[in-house]
Amino acid sequence: MSKNDVFVWIEQFKGQPAPASWEAVGAARRLADELGGSVSACIFGGPGVEALAQEAISCGADAVLLVEDATLADFRVEPQVALLARAVREADPAAILIGATFRGRELGPALAVELDTGCIADCTALALEGERLVATRPIYAGKLLSKCIIPERHPQIVTTRARAFPKPEPDPARTGEVVGVEPVLAEDAIACKVTDFLATEGGVSLADAAIIVSGGRGVGGPEGFKPVRELAQVLGAALGASRAAVDADWIPYEHQVGQTGKTVSPDLYIACGISGAIQHQAGMRTSKVIVAINKDPEAPIFKLAHYGVVGNLFKVVPALTAAFKEKLG
């Protein structure tokens, strides 16, 4: 352990790791190599999370700090902050990387207060200037980019936006030490109690999805999402929506992409009946390949998209579903 080490908080749900955590491990690996330090993965979960330790090592961690305890089975910020703070005080790492998910966005700033240091939110690129991290993050819905540093405090906490950093290619031959540690807080010292969990329709997280198929005003109503959903199913894609569709109550808010919804960055984004208001573009403009299907050839989405089909989505989308079915079997 040295001052050049990088910690990564590994997020999981019922033992399933969040892809953003492995992306953060990959980013941490590159930083640690440059700093001459090692990468420690912090896996604090319920019984059984030990199964993630080797995956963390395969993805680039040198060591795993592991706590398996029933108090950590559901995510709660209090015990996670307590554990991370203790680990940081003992090991004094240079930086802590956390995926910028719902959980990570709650954890990062709470940890920063606990450790009296800075937390750079939602960064999309990381570099080093000497021993100092330089993080790039979009602000004003991506209209501007801000370079951020934490010049005088220690450690440097950064949350990394999902899919902004490549997922490392796992190397199962990598080895590392797994260090079991004790929980900090007992159940009666944790104020929040998780009483239930309500799963989302479809079960594919928008932020992590490699493919997203979205519907907008053009779908015309809740039933109009049927062909959009079918295309998403064939592609194993997450289902997205524009603000217009959400505001009209055609689909729940959890599906909304855009400035007032989720920011996504999939490999493929298929916009069906979405005109492409600037607020929608703010949430999906960094997608690798954007396809627009819209009956209006003047729709602003065609300025952003890489491929466009001008036509009635109720004809084009089912045809596309059929064509994919044929090709993908």
Partner 1 sequence: MHIVVCTKYTPDSEAKMSVDASGDVSWGTSPLIINPWDEYAVEEALKLRDQHGGTVTVLSMGPEEALEALKHAIAMGCDEAVRVWDNGCAGSDTLATSYVLAQAIQKMGDVDLTLFGKSAIDTQTWQVAPAVAQRLGIPALTYVIKIAAIDPDGKSITVERLLEEGRQVVTAPLPAVVGTTKGINEPRYTSFMGIRKAAKMDYPLWALADVEAEADKAGESGSGVRWPEVSMPPAREGEAEIVQGETVKESARLLVEKLLAEKVI
Query: Shortest CA distance to 154 belongs to which of 93, 203, 106?
Result: 93
**Contact between 71 and partner 1 per CB under 8 A:** no
- Over the window 248 to 267, marking each residue x when it contacts partner 1 by CB under 8 A and - when it does not, the resulting string is ----xxx-x--xxx-----x
**Contact between 198 and partner 1 per CB under 8 A:** yes
> Cα dist. 134→69, 127, 178 in Å?
35, 5, 30
C-alpha to C-alpha distance for 74 and 129, rounded to whole angstroms: 38
Helices 51-58 & 19-35 angle (0-180, nearest 10): 50
**Contact between 187 and partner 1 per CB under 8 A:** no
Considering the complex, what minimum distance in angstroms separates the CB of residue 328 from partner 1? 7
Peptide bond into 183 cis (omega under 30): no
**Contact between 91 and partner 1 per CB under 8 A:** no
Binding segment (CB under 8 A) for partner 1, from list 29-37, 45-53, 73-81, 169-177: 73-81
Considering the complex, what minimum distance in angstroms separates the CB of residue 289 from partner 1? 5
Long-range contacts of the stretch 184-188 (C-beta < 8 A, 24+)? 184/79, 184/82, 184/83, 184/86, 185/71, 185/78, 185/79, 185/82, 186/71, 187/70, 187/71
Q: Can you name the residues that pair with 309 across neighbouring β-strands?
A: 293
Q: Of 169, 182, 196, 298, which lies in the binding site for partner 1, with binding defined by CB under 8 A? A: 196
**Contact between 193 and partner 1 per CB under 8 A:** yes
Binding segment (CB under 8 A) for partner 1, from list 53-61, 114-122, 164-172, 178-186: 114-122
Binding segment (CB under 8 A) for partner 1, from list 33-41, 43-51, 169-177, 306-314: 306-314
**Contact between 305 and partner 1 per CB under 8 A:** yes
Considering the complex, what minimum distance in angstroms separates the CB of residue 178 from partner 1? 26
Binding segment (CB under 8 A) for partner 1, from list 1-9, 50-58, 174-182, 303-311: 303-311
Binding segment (CB under 8 A) for partner 1, from list 33-41, 65-73, 95-103, 167-175: 95-103
Tokens of 160: 């990394």
- Over the window 121 to 160, marking each residue x when it contacts partner 1 by CB under 8 A and - when it does not, the resulting string is xx---------------xxxxxxxxxxxxxxxx-------
**Contact between 272 and partner 1 per CB under 8 A:** no
Q: Report CA dihedral (161, 163, 164, 169) to the nearest 10 degrees.
A: 120
Q: Render the burial of 84-95: b for 16+ CB within 10 Å, e for the rest.
A: bebbbeebebbb
Q: Of 101, 214, 242, 265, which lies in the binding site for partner 1, with binding defined by CB under 8 A? A: 101
Rg (CA), the chain: 21
Considering the complex, what minimum distance in angstroms separates the CB of residue 115 from partner 1? 9
Considering the complex, what minimum distance in angstroms separates the CB of residue 76 from partner 1? 8
Q: Render the burial of 18-46: b for 16+ CB within 10 Å, e for the rest.
A: bbbbbbbbbbbbbbbeebebbbbbbbbbb
> Rule CB under 8 A: which of 40-59 touch partner 1?
none
**3-state per-residue secondary structure call for 261-304:** CECCCCCEEEEECCCCCHHHHHHHCCCCEEEEEECCCCCCHHHH
**Contact between 227 and partner 1 per CB under 8 A:** no
- Identify the residue whose tokens are 């289902």: 239
Binding segment (CB under 8 A) for partner 1, from list 53-61, 90-98, 100-108, 213-221: 100-108
> Rule CB under 8 A: which of 155-184 touch partner 1?
none
Total binding residues toward partner 1, as defined by CB under 8 A: 99
